[in-house]
Amino acid sequence: MNCYACAAIRLLAYALLTLILIPVQVMAIAFRLRLADDLPRVYHALCLKILHIELRVSGAELMDGPGVIVANHASYLDIPVLGALVRGSFIAKTEVASWPVFGTLAKLQRSTFVERRPVRAREQNDQISQRLADGHKLILFPEGTSNDGNRVLPFKSTLFGVAERTMPDGSPVKVQPVSIAATRLDGAPIGRDLRAFYSWYGDMDLAPHLWQFLALGKVTVELVVHPPVTLADAGSRKELARMCETAVARGHHAALTGMHQGVPVPLIDNGRSGDLIGFSPLAIVSEDFRLFGPDRQFGS
């Protein structure tokens, strides 16, 4: 059942949260504080609470240290899903930088903006390689676009060229595939048609889609984490892209069919279920501000 009063409350909570934390992140970046790396995860975790998204994870452990996370892409909602779990920044299309609101947020998370053109591949791989050498973890959607969430599109291999480089200590660049699938709405399985409430693709308008999503109940998103691989495991950049695509597609299918049902991730606090988020302004405030307590918990 849609709850448009809930949608209005959630939208207001999201707007207030964003307006409050933007200047904090600006200052953290300006003064080169560690907070500039940590605050985006705080922000994305709070967004998941406001959006009423339950995150479940199964499979391998997320890799430590710098590397590239590669995942399938169905929606702008994949951003807070991965952003709350991974302490890192995104590799995004150049045009994202000019988007209202989301472009600003992407810049504040220090995203790397790239053009998906082979002619710029070397320059952009140099840029990504430097970010990795500086110790960053980067998140890439190699399909190049979002889709309906019922399948995984072919991975473009251009930016996998960064795996041909080495880290400053001589170790290979690690690439870790992750499958993302929206699987349940209020505990009931989401079918092919209903998955469009999560997925944003084609010529869909962003504002109506977000408003419709905000009116829904709890959406469960499954993440299946696969073991990291390197160029040595694949033999070539194109084969590495194909290997990651195969792993992501397999995990995506397993999540959609119920073969993978991960463990809920306590992104903020184990002691509160967060089931009231979105249904009461007081619940939003009392739940979310617990994040800043000494017992806060996040994903790896």
Domain carrying residue 14: 4-264
Copy the structure tokens of residue 38: 């940590």
Q: How confident is the model over 192-206, as pLDDT tens digits?
A: 888 989 999 998 999
Copy the structure tokens of residue 193: 């048609």
Does residue 295 belong to any structural domain of this protein?
no
Predicted model pTM: 0.87
Number of domains forming the structure of the chain: 1
Q: Distance (Å, rounded) from C-alpha 174 to C-alpha 233? A: 10
Helix (H) or strand (E) holding 44: helix 35-51
Does residue 271 belong to any structural domain of this protein?
no
Q: How confident is the model over 119-160, as pLDDT tens digits?
A: 788 889 999 999 999 999 999 999 999 999 999 999 999 999
Query: 196 in helix, strand or coil?
Result: helix
CATH of the domain at 212: 3.40.1130
Copy the structure tokens of residue 7: 């949608």
Does residue 281 belong to any structural domain of this protein?
no
Question: Residue type for 106, please?
Answer: A
**pLDDT value at residue 280:** 38
Q: How confident is the model over 155-175, as pLDDT tens digits?
A: 999 999 999 999 999 999 999
Does residue 284 belong to any structural domain of this protein?
no
